[in-house]
Amino acid sequence: EAQVTQNPRYLITVTGKKLTVTCSQNMNHEYMSWYRQDPGLGLRQIYYSMNVEVTDKGDVPEGYKVSRKEKRNFPLILESPSPNQTSLYFCASSPNPGHYGYTFGSGTRLTVV
Amino acid sequence: QQQVKQSPQSLIVQKGGISIINCAYENTAFDYFPWYQQFPGKGPALLIAIRPDVSEKKEGRFTISFNKSAKQFSLHIMDSQPGDSATYFCAASHYYNTDKLIFGTGTRLQVFP
């Protein structure tokens, strides 16, 4: 089944404790992206990647890091999480977002206390 | 600054009625306008999309109407069903930067029997 898989689905952590949210896609898509969803703000792009070793900042990149060492994986790293990063995070992939849109994962609900 | 403005924030429709969600944009460089549907606990899923060279696109009960001069586009759900109850997001991307898909703030639709 073609899909984008994120792990974990739920995570509660403490301020400052580094964490990684993994994302993997099995569709051989070039493009991958991370979004965060907050009430009243919709979906905001954090980082995106056009291919292996090519990444760029989205609209809200502060406090996040990404890497794209393999085509299928695009982990999101929070080196020192803060409470304002409590959110619902989505990973997405696409062969070309401007023509086909993104396929989204099921989300990771992160709470930073 | 919200590049894609979506309204209403919430919508209640009776079964069989028409649901209408509106979006407006400023940037004339946008040339791809998808709509996403999100059920609770799931990631957004591409529903229907349009390019500005056509004024309307229909897929089953879902229709996008596009007004290029007014820089507005809308989603119409005909014969709305309880199973359509979800959050709907409009989005847009630039023709020269297709990696970035910019979302509206979402509309929560509830269809009552």
Q: Give which of A79, A93, A83, A82 is closest to A35, Cα–Cα.
A: A93
A97/chain B closest Cα distance in angstroms: 6
Any chain A CB within 8 A of the CB of B91? yes
Three-class SS state of B23: strand
Q: Which tokens belong to B37?
A: 């549907």
Q: Which residues of A touch B104 (CB under 8 A)?
A: 42
- Chain CA centroid to CA A102, Å: 12
pLDDT band at A100 (very low <50, low <70, confident <90, very high): confident
The model's pLDDT over B1-23, given as tens digits with 9 standing for 90+, comes to 568 999 999 999 999 999 999 99
Q: How far is B42 from chain A (nearest CA, A)?
A: 5
Backbone angles phi, psi at A54, to 5 degrees: -120, 110
* Mean pLDDT taken over chain A: 95
What's at B106, amino acid-wise? G
Q: Are the Cβ atoms of A97 and B36 closer than 8 angstroms? A: no
Rg, chain B, Cα only: 13
Which of the four pLDDT bands, split at 50, 70 and 90, describes residue A2?
confident
Q: Is B93 on the interface with A (CB under 8 A)?
A: yes
CB of B48 within 8 Å of any CB in chain A? no
Which contiguous run of DSSP H or E holds residue A22?
Answer: strand A19-25
In terms of DSSP bridges, do strands A10-13 and A108-112 run parallel, antiparallel, or are they unpaired?
parallel
Say if residues A58 and A48 touch (Cβ distance below 8 Å).
yes
| SS3 (DSSP) at A85 | helix
Per-residue pLDDT reduced to its tens digit, A69-99: 999 999 999 999 999 999 999 999 999 888 8
Identify which of B32, B89, B95 has the shortest CB distance to residue A42: B89
